[in-house]
Amino acid sequence: MARYVFRFSEGGKDQRDLLGGKGANLAEMTRIGLPVPPGFTITTEACRAYMREGRLPPELRVEVTMALREVEDAIGRRLGDFHEPLLVSVRSGAKFSMPGMMETVLNVGLNDASVRGLAEFSGDERFAWDSYRRLIQMFGRTVLGIDGEAFSAALEQKRQQVGAATDVDLGAADLQDLVGTYKTIVRDAGGRDFPQHPREQLDMAIEAVFGSWNTDRARLYRRRERIPNDLGTAVNVVAMVFGNLGESSGTGVAFTRDPSSGQPGVYGDYLPNAQGEDVVAGIRNTLALTELEQRDPACYRELTQAMRRLETHYRDLCDIEFTVERGTLWLLQTRVGKRTAAAAFRVATQLVDENLITMDEAIARVTGAQLTQLLFPQFDADAGKQLLTRGMAASPGAAVGEIVLDNAQAVERTAAGAEVILVRRETNPDDLQGMVAATGILTARGGKTSHAAVVARGMGKAAVVGAEEVSVDVAAQQVTVDGTVLQAGEVIALDGTTGEVFRGEVPVVDSPVMRYVAAGVHAGVEACGQDEGMKELVLAVHRVMTHADEVRRMRVRANCDTADAARQARERGAEGIGLCRTEHQFLGDRRRHIERLVLARTEEERRDALAALLPLQRQDFVELLEAMDGLPTTIRLIDPPLHEFLPDLTELAVRVALAQERGETGEQADHDAALLTQVRRMHEENPMLGLRGVRLGLKVPGLFALQIRAVAEAMVERRRAGGDPRPEIMVPLVGSVREMQIVRDEAERILTEVGHEHDELLEPPIGCMIELPRAALTAHRIAEEADFFSFGTNDLTQTTWGFSRDDVEGSFFADYLENGVLTISPFETLDGDGVGALVVAGVAGGQQTRPGLHMGVCGEHGGDPESIHFFHRAGLDYVSCSPFRVPVARLEAGRAAVVTGEDATA
Amino acid sequence: MARYVFRFSEGGKDQRDLLGGKGANLAEMTRIGLPVPPGFTITTEACRAYMREGRLPPELRVEVTMALREVEDAIGRRLGDFHEPLLVSVRSGAKFSMPGMMETVLNVGLNDASVRGLAEFSGDERFAWDSYRRLIQMFGRTVLGIDGEAFSAALEQKRQQVGAATDVDLGAADLQDLVGTYKTIVRDAGGRDFPQHPREQLDMAIEAVFGSWNTDRARLYRRRERIPNDLGTAVNVVAMVFGNLGESSGTGVAFTRDPSSGQPGVYGDYLPNAQGEDVVAGIRNTLALTELEQRDPACYRELTQAMRRLETHYRDLCDIEFTVERGTLWLLQTRVGKRTAAAAFRVATQLVDENLITMDEAIARVTGAQLTQLLFPQFDADAGKQLLTRGMAASPGAAVGEIVLDNAQAVERTAAGAEVILVRRETNPDDLQGMVAATGILTARGGKTSHAAVVARGMGKAAVVGAEEVSVDVAAQQVTVDGTVLQAGEVIALDGTTGEVFRGEVPVVDSPVMRYVAAGVHAGVEACGQDEGMKELVLAVHRVMTHADEVRRMRVRANCDTADAARQARERGAEGIGLCRTEHQFLGDRRRHIERLVLARTEEERRDALAALLPLQRQDFVELLEAMDGLPTTIRLIDPPLHEFLPDLTELAVRVALAQERGETGEQADHDAALLTQVRRMHEENPMLGLRGVRLGLKVPGLFALQIRAVAEAMVERRRAGGDPRPEIMVPLVGSVREMQIVRDEAERILTEVGHEHDELLEPPIGCMIELPRAALTAHRIAEEADFFSFGTNDLTQTTWGFSRDDVEGSFFADYLENGVLTISPFETLDGDGVGALVVAGVAGGQQTRPGLHMGVCGEHGGDPESIHFFHRAGLDYVSCSPFRVPVARLEAGRAAVVTGEDATA
């Protein structure tokens, strides 16, 4: 049978599952001899039993009795004693902190008799009645479910009645009177008398804390924070100590280092003659902790010793809650302290230098999300800002610029030296030029994985999307935001980290960490100027990154379509290209070649259209391979349906209908009409599931061949120039080994042919995307014909869930996050249970057929911290992500190699 | 080490894997003492070694030498002997018959010397030179790869030279001369002399047969017939016997029963003084086998005894190839004979009555495909027909009627008593009314799983689709077929079993088997009139079906959306409804309710729109539950995106643009404009992966609730009427247990509510479709909230392969079947490796959480024989298919229970 109660002397910090965070740390402090009030923890297992059975387990009662007796013996007072009563607090304490979500009852043990004992024992009658008043109020609200307003109103009434400015001005008699009123409230609203029996109070409080685990707001919070619902909470029953017994008492919070900068030293606040809830209520201003040294040097010394002890013991920055009761120090809680991103890096390396942790541990103490925060320029915190609207924080960073509404403007204004923000209803591939030119992107529609969001993240540009109040009128060249009209050319600022959009100029501060990441440690330090704290930070990041690079098993590549992006990625530490989307090379002006291909009426015209593309593609590849010289460069054959390069069916149909209606003739009309016929013919109900990827390659003769030849010829050209080109040819959307076999045969034929022409041996690896469930399920077959696998987890997520990213994020993802079907978009963080199961199956299949088969991932997930840890565990050899995410991926790949289990993504 | 050669005396009929079909049966006949010429089989394993190594395994040579010596000893002649030469045939023989695909070389052993020995020994010089001539020709073509035309031309020249009408008129000297010419051809075109060494001939012939396994045409054939490429062929080396040694010799084919009707008796053909290839060439007319009785009674008796022996031994109808050499009978081949569908049923039950096989074996001897053939009316075989065009055979049956081009016409002409054929470019759900009215459907576009094909099969109506020569002009009310213009109203006939379309009336014969299936055995027998053979057939089918129903584990349900369909299904033996698509109840006039819902501007308008649907849906369910009284009736909540009920975006956009251009105003214009806004807003790039199924139910408040309430109220109404309604509520497109949980909670709330209102306990099972990979992969979780699973293998195929059925079948499936990526559409027969793996995972997951969880399948695959066997092995409890397929599914479910492995779908 499970044991439900643990004395503080029996537990330890590694028992958070069973004792909750608070209970485990109270036990740990007790164990190492720090001054903790006596107490015990009722386990999460008891809470789970309570949830299962709907009542407290019967054996719990006995265990609580025995533990309580030990507390009473240790203190030498009895719960609810008429003379020297022991009071206890009953506090929740779950494995993961859920601030403000769950219940606490203080001063349990007071009743009509023991209140007098407390008055006598403490020598402070006002204190005793105030404590009793607080108990009834808290108990009534928390345990009996009475509206707290009733108590507040009675208190307010009493204050007015006696003319007291604050609660402190109420005397003992007023409070005694109030207790009477409170008891009436309990009887009337709670349907019962306030329980006088101390043990009944205790049992009811315990049950109420357990019950608070399952309130709606707690469930909602857990859903949002992705905390499992079935963990349950522990309950800590602790002897009360009082910081409000006069000027020699007090309460405070201490940090072992500055949680905001990471600077070593003593940080914290102290409030004399107060209880913890007074600090929270913020009625009185706290003192700096160092003032305690003046007021009570012995206590201060004892506290700082305890802080050093805890930091050495926990080997990390700790925060501590403490109370001084008439000169005696009591520690009420400690935990590893939350900190800013900058502090995280600095503290981690400081602790290494203090020989408290290893570099492996240091990289476990920071996260990719923290690194990301450090990379972006930020708005000057001190500047005044005029909030215009909010949207979704889609791509972090701060951007300021003139409003532009189209590509032409964006390019023109940028060429004229302006910084611009591209504002669009939504973006599509045609807006790429404008996005490249812009400093930031703002859209009225779309979610975190809309085109605008994905592309902006890929470029590392600030973006706010789905700002629904924004309405764009391109014709009028103006933007309306909830009634406010802004003309193109007006300046706005957007914060991609918060989703805020401001009107007018806001000063931006660049990040030296970014400078370090892009240009190395010297440049980074130089960018810090005289800021020594920032210098320490840059060096800390450098040490962390260097170690992450040393320990990680997974390589990090980048998804780059152009040589520029490739150079940028390389500067950030990319060890190759994991995905070059060749279709991006058919946009803009080159679209007309695809139109020619599609409109070709003869075999010859078709061949000509393709032939025109060859030198363009070859040149693309030459530049790309030059930028990535010596590193693997995975070139994916064309993936999207050809009609994506053509005009929209509906727009074109309307244009043609109107032209006919108006009797227009001429070349343009003929062209449109011909094009409409083709667009109609090629129209697909579900292009995502249609003629694309390898299917397109097998259907359109010469299309893949053109690309393969361009790769081969680019290889030759680079070698002739003394380079070391390492392309890898990747086939998209393979579902069956036979598809791969056919493409491979053709590719090998072309490579041999070009090789013969130039007397070169051309044998780039030929592999495929694993991005369909069937590919993952039949990976053992596909591996027969593939030199490598690259998991395309975007598409795999689409098919595994049956979600079209373009369609569903805007339409029902918000609801799904609200009602808990999703805790996070599966396009952002890999869905381990579903999509992940297929990745694991694909890896196993591949390795079964080709032990050592090289495998990576090139979906957006390749840059997501949690997903990176999954890929490490799944055994992949590399992740590939947007150039901007490369440093984050390097760090997380390193962390994945040294941390395991629940800490992996903390 | 593998042994590569088996004497006939060493093998047996169960060794088809190793010895090929022909070799195994030759061995079997030898083993049971029938007269087979001595010989041996080189195994398929040797062929596989040859394919692996690119040369014959060295040890094979020794084994052949030893086996050959035994043949020589048995016959008393030596291969290539100068006086009494042994000749051998070298024939391929794979596990599965591949008629005409692979090579054979006869008369191996003849050379310039032994030809004279053969002349002397046979006493027939012409025969000897003719044999030699044939060897060089066959060897040259097959082994040396010389164009056969060269030999034919030389033969023709010789015939002209000597004035011979046929080959038979060439004398020994002519043939000897021809041998010289042939040898020259070999030297010139083959690059070497014709090999004189008999053993060299033999080895080269063996290698050539092995090599013929991998010719393009053989590979293509196997791809089409779904025969694995890695099986390899065996080679049979058999002592030659000659049917062309005069009038006491001959060759023939015999069947132990009539393969066309199944009638017992002796059937076959005989050709005196001929070799097998002469029969194939069809130069001379064969005699009925019974004539052999007149010509050689002893031989005939021996043959009929052998036939009886073989039939008893093989316990099945056999066909036999034999040769009589100067009065001696030799059996050259036997196998279980191919037969028509009617013969299959009759023979199976005859063999039961003859105590040769059990009823279990009898049902294994027939197939669902054969049953299907027997169900359809057919064109009178004797009638003259005028072929108009061909398309894909999409739904079997024969249909004759007037051409109609739209719904209105179809309904009008049918109401006037006419039979009509609906001719469309393609069909969509709006054509349903016309399809219901029509006798047959013809479309110019679409594949075997296009809308037209699927719906027609569902209704059991004849359909030919993708008849590309057909061009439909609705405005002109005419159809053009390759230049021929047909007006609406002209009569055409189409054969959905062959894909043929005829012009004008063709008489149709109804099927008594169909009558039996729909109305029972008495009605079926009555429909046969005086046709005793047909009566035997109907009774045979009845016995087979009765036994299949007894032995099958899987239940058979039907996919029905209406009470009419449900009644039809029930008559055919359906044991419930596995899928009622409720969206089909929103078509036609009811569309306007969906338009109202979509256009609703207030919460109240939305509620009103839904409320208007409640009585309609309830009445639908009352009728359905009445038709299926006492049987499970699975009602699927609405699945497709709402915009599917709205007009097409492009059409509407054009209409609105033109109305604006023309300055049209008024109610219709306003309605269209408002509708366009909604249609645009709701438009999805990939509706298949968009807002549909459970997502729609969670997004549109009250939509699922309406349907659930309609089910609940229908249950009450049916119970009040004394019925036994057994609805099951099915949630579509579930991907996560949480979706199921939310819907289930709401459904239970509504059921309790309606139950309270009417004082009834309403607890229908609530389950879900498993039709997304994620649902299959997380089935263990989903089973927590589902009372049953129904695998939606259509959608599961779409997402597993990333194929949109609507898009891909027309665009590249034909190529994929051609190039071997697909051997059959995965929408027709379940893809066991990919989609099937998910079904198996889903079953395992479901049973892990809920042992005994009720599971079925309701995709189109539920009516496909091969898929049914898969579902049986996967452990499903039922299949659900179109009403028309119910008998086939019953039979195949029975067969699945008694047959295993490769015979399962033979």
Q: Which residues of B62-90 are buried (b: 16+ CB within 10 A; e: fewer)?
A: ebbeebbeebbebbebbbbbeeebbbbbb
- Chain A CB contacts of B695 below 8 Å: 808, 812, 816
Best residue in B644, B768, B770, B774 for a mutation probing chain A (most A CBs within 10 Å): B774
CB B210, CB B69: distance < 8 Å:
no
Query: Which residues on adjacent β-strands are paired with residue B111?
Result: none
CA distance A423 to A470: 9
Low-confidence stretches of chain B (pLDDT < 50) are 901-906
CA distance B841 to A839: 15
Distance, in angstroms, between A649 CA and closest chain B CA?
7
B663 Cβ contact partners less than 8 Å away, ≥ 6 residues apart:
none
DSSP helix/strand/coil, B91? strand
What's the CA angle centered on B28, arms B14 and B18, to 5 degrees?
40
B759 Cβ contact partners less than 8 Å away, ≥ 6 residues apart:
none
Q: Which tens digits make up the pLDDT trace of A173-229?
A: 999 999 999 999 999 998 899 999 999 999 999 999 999 998 888 887 787 677 888
Q: Is A128 on the interface with B (CB under 8 A)?
A: no
The residue to which tokens 């058999």 are assigned: B238
Q: Is B736 on the interface with A (CB under 8 A)?
A: yes
Closest-CA residue in chain A for B780? A833
CB A8, CB A35: distance < 8 Å:
no
CA distance B414 to B438: 8
B777 vs A837: CB contact, 8 Å cut-off? Answer: yes
A866 Cβ contact partners less than 8 Å away, ≥ 6 residues apart:
A829, A830, A904, A905
The residue to which tokens 């989609």 are assigned: B835
Cα Rg of chain B (Å, integer): 33
User: What is the enclosing helix (H) or strand (E) of B750?
Assistant: helix B737-758
* Phi/psi at A629 (5° precision): -50, 130
The reply to whether B5-239 and B250-339 are identical in fold is no
B777 vs A802: CB contact, 8 Å cut-off? Answer: no
Q: Between A and B, how many residue pairs show a Cβ–Cβ distance under 8 A?
A: 193
Percent of chain A surpassing pLDDT 70: 97
Active site residue A858: yes
What's residue A562's pLDDT? 93
CB B259, CB B338: distance < 8 Å:
yes
Distance, in angstroms, between A176 CA and closest chain B CA?
49
CA A566 vs CA A35, A563, A569, B40: distances in Å: 58, 5, 5, 66
CATH number listed for the domain at residues A552-641+684-899? 3.20.20.60
What's residue B823's pLDDT? 81
The residue to which tokens 């840890």 are assigned: A869
Instruction: Count Cβ atoms within 10 A of the Cβ of residue A201 and give its class: 0-12 exposed, 13-18 middle, 19 or more buried.
Output: buried
**Distance spanning both ends of chain A, measured CA to CA:** 33
User: What is the enclosing helix (H) or strand (E) of B325?
Assistant: strand B318-325
CATH fold of A250-339 reads D-amino Acid Aminotransferase; Chain A, domain 1 (3.30.470)
CA distance B624 to B619: 9
Q: What is the 3-state secondary structure (H, E, C) of A254-273?
A: EEEECCCCCCEEEEEEEEEC
Distance, C-alpha B482 to centroid of its chain: 30
Q: Is A739 on the interface with B (CB under 8 A)?
A: yes
CA distance B200 to B365: 44
Distance, in angstroms, between A658 CA and closest chain B CA?
7
The answer regarding whether domain B5-239 maps to CATH 3.30.1490.20 reads yes
Question: So where are chain B's domains?
Answer: 5-239, 250-339, 342-372+512-545, 376-509, 552-641+684-899, 647-681
CB A822, CB A859: distance < 8 Å:
no
DSSP helix/strand/coil, B770? strand
What's residue B903's pLDDT? 46
Tell me the ipTM for this assembly: 0.83
CATH architecture of B376-509: 3-Layer(bba) Sandwich (3.50)
Closest-CA residue in chain A for B740? A821
Q: Looking at chain A, how many residues does it have?
A: 906
Query: Which residues on adjacent β-strands are paired with residue B270?
Result: B252, B287
DSSP B583-625: GGGGSGGGHHHHHHHHH--SHHHHHHHHHHHHHHHHHHHHHHH
Query: Which residues on adjacent β-strands are paired with residue A766?
Result: A729
A496 Cβ contact partners less than 8 Å away, ≥ 6 residues apart:
A376, A393, A394, A395, A396, A397, A398, A399, A440, A456, A461, A462, A463, A464
A812 vs B698: CB contact, 8 Å cut-off? Answer: yes
Q: Is A681 on the interface with B (CB under 8 A)?
A: no
> In whole numbers, what is the pLDDT of chain B averaged over residues?
91
Q: What is the 3-state secondary structure (H, E, C) of A203-262?
A: HHHHHHHHHHCCCHHHHHHHHHHCCCCCCCEEEEEEECCCCCCCCCCEEEEEEEECCCCC
Query: Please, what is the angle between helix A703-720 and helix A737-758, to 10°?
Result: 40
DSSP A672-735: HHHHHHHHHHH--S-GGGSS-THHHHHHSTTHHHHHHHHHHHHHHHHHHTT---EEEEEE-S--
Best residue in B685, B703, B744 for a mutation probing chain A (most A CBs within 10 Å): B685
Chain B 742-781, residues with CB within 8 Å of chain A CB atoms? 742, 771-774, 777-778, 781
B690 vs A804: CB contact, 8 Å cut-off? Answer: yes
Low-confidence stretches of chain A (pLDDT < 50) are 901-906
Nearest to B158 by CA among B142, B138, B187, B137: B137
Q: What is the dihedral of CA B253, B254, B258, B263, to 10 degrees?
A: 170
Best residue in A811, A825, A840 for a mutation probing chain B (most B CBs within 10 Å): A811
CB A776, CB A797: distance < 8 Å:
no
DSSP helix/strand/coil, A63? helix
What's residue B140's pLDDT? 95
Which amino acid is residue A678, in one-letter code?
Q
What's residue B906's pLDDT? 40
A777 vs B649: CB contact, 8 Å cut-off? Answer: no
Q: Is A821 on the interface with B (CB under 8 A)?
A: yes
* Phi/psi at B363 (5° precision): -75, -20
B687 vs A686: CB contact, 8 Å cut-off? Answer: yes
B688 vs A802: CB contact, 8 Å cut-off? Answer: yes
B193 Cβ contact partners less than 8 Å away, ≥ 6 residues apart:
B183, B186, B187
**For strand B508-509 and strand B854-857, is the pairing parallel, antiparallel, or unpaired?**
unpaired
CA distance A110 to A202: 11
The pair of three-digit structure tokens given for residue B598, joined into one six-digit string: 């979509």
User: What is the enclosing helix (H) or strand (E) of A542?
Assistant: helix A532-551
